[in-house]
Amino acid sequence: MGELDFLNAFTRPFSDATKMLIGLVIAIIPFVNFIFYGYVIENMKSVLGRRGLPEWKNWFDLLIEGLTGTIAALIYFLPTIIIALISMYSLVSQGLFTIEAIMNPLNWASLTGIGILLAVGIVFYLISLYIFPAVLVHYAAQNRFDAIFELDVIFKKVLSFNYLLSFLTVIVYSFVIGGVVSLLVGVVALFVPLLATLMAVIVGGITTYIIFITASTLFAQAYRG
C-alpha cells in the first residue's frame, strides 16, 4: 500500500500561481464554477497518473465533467434530500414549526416521528459524505459514468486506512482553513466594513480552490494506493 504524500497534497494548489488565479476566479462565479468542479476531477486524473496540476484547457469538457460530477452527487445524496423534504413538508403542513406547537403534548408523537426521520437522514448524509469522494475518484479513473455504481470496488477503497486518514485530514484541514478565513474577514470587517464583503468573496474563492485541490489530491492518492 502506497503512503500518502501530505506535502505534495498541501503544496499542490500553490505549485502554479497562474492556474491558481484562474481557479479561484472560476470557483466563485455561479454556474461557471461547474468548470472548476470539472477541473477538480481532472486533478484527480493527474494525481492517478502521477502528473502535475492539469492545464486549464478544453473548457467545454471541464464543464461536462463538472456537471457529471454534480449529477453523481445528487444521486448519492438523494436519500438525504428526500428525507429533508419530507421532514420539512411534515413540519409545515402540520404547523409544527412554532414554539407553541412544539410545547403542545398533542404534537409530541408527530415531532418524535419527524425527529427519527431526520436522524435517519443524518446517517444517510454522513455515509454519503464519506463514500462520495471515492465515487468521484473511481469515476475519474474509469472515465465512464456507470463507474459511479460499481460499489464493490468503491467500498474496497473506502475501507482502506489511507482513505480514512485522507477523509479525516480533509475535515480537519477544512475547519482550520475556514476558521482562519473567518477570523481574517472578521478583523477586516471591524476596521474596514466596506471591504469585508469583497474580501469574503475573494478569500472564499482562494479557500475553495485550496481545499478542493488538496482534498482531490489526497483522495486520489488513497485510491491509487
| pLDDT tens track for 77-108 | 999 999 999 988 888 887 777 777 777 787 77
Q: pLDDT band for position 1 (50/70/90)?
A: low
Q: pLDDT band for position 192 (50/70/90)?
A: confident
What is the average pLDDT value for the chain, to the nearest integer?
A: 91
Residue labelled with grid coordinates 465515487: 135
Concatenating the DSSP letter of every residue in 59-78 gives HHHHHHHHHHHHHHHHHHTH
Distances (CA, A) of 207 to 36, 43, 157: 13, 17, 27
Q: pLDDT band for position 211 (50/70/90)?
A: very high
pLDDT at res. 188: 74
Residue labelled with grid coordinates 498541501: 10
Residue labelled with grid coordinates 488538496: 214
Q: Confirm whether pTM is higher than 0.75.
A: yes
For residues 40 and 209, is the Cβ–Cβ distance under 8 A?
Answer: no
pLDDT per position as a tens digit, 178-191: 888 888 777 777 77
Q: What is the percent of the chain where pLDDT is above 70?
A: 99
Residues 6+ apart with CB under 8 A from 58: none
172, HSE (Cβ side, Cα atoms, 13 Å): 7
Residue labelled with grid coordinates 475556514: 178
CB neighbour class for 34 (10 Å; exposed up to 12, middle 13-18, buried from 19): buried
The set of cell numbers assigned to 165 is: 486518514
Length of the chain: 225
Q: Give the residue with greater pLDDT, 225 vs 34.
A: 34
pLDDT per position as a tens digit, 113-158: 888 999 999 999 999 999 999 999 999 999 999 999 999 999 999 9
Closest C-alpha to 184, from 192, 39, 113, 23 = 192
pLDDT at res. 144: 94
Q: Give the residue with greater pLDDT, 195 vs 130.
A: 130
pLDDT at res. 183: 84
